[in-house]
Amino acid sequence: MQVVILRIFDLLYWALLILLFGRMILSWTNIGGYQLRYWIYRLTEPLLAPIRNLLPQSGGMDFSPMILLFGMFFLRRILFGILY
């Protein structure tokens, strides 16, 4: 049962990681269709908005994806350390 929980969590971790990197790349460039950008933003914004609200203004840089990635990494390490 623990292995199933870890695999599901790992799958969600990697899917969110890919979405966050896709969002970062799309924010730097003007490539990608409107639908792709819309769905990536719609899936990631509920996780990034609370972090962005806690951070002070930093000019044009948005550090919320980096903080979310660090948090996901540490949560994954802790969960794998406990259950595996």
What ranges make up the beta strands (E) of 2-84? none
Q: Which residues contact 57 (CB under 8 A, 6 or more apart)?
A: none
Residue 56 in any domain: the answer is no
pLDDT at site 59: 81
Answer whether residue 2 is part of any domain.
no
| Residue 77 is assigned to a structural domain of this protein | yes
Helix or strand (DSSP H, E) at 33 = none
Q: Note whether residue 70 is domain-resident.
A: yes
Domain count across the chain: 1
How confident is the model over 1-43, as pLDDT tens digits?
Answer: 788 888 999 999 999 999 999 998 888 888 767 888 999 999 9
- Does 57 have pLDDT greater than 90? no
Residue with tokens 């790992």: 10
- The domain in which residue 44 lies consists of 7-51+61-83
> Alpha carbon of 81 to those of 5, 6, 65, 74: distances in Å?
13, 11, 24, 10
The pLDDT value given to residue 61: 84
State residue 62's pLDDT score.
85
> What is the pTM (predicted TM-score) of this model?
0.84
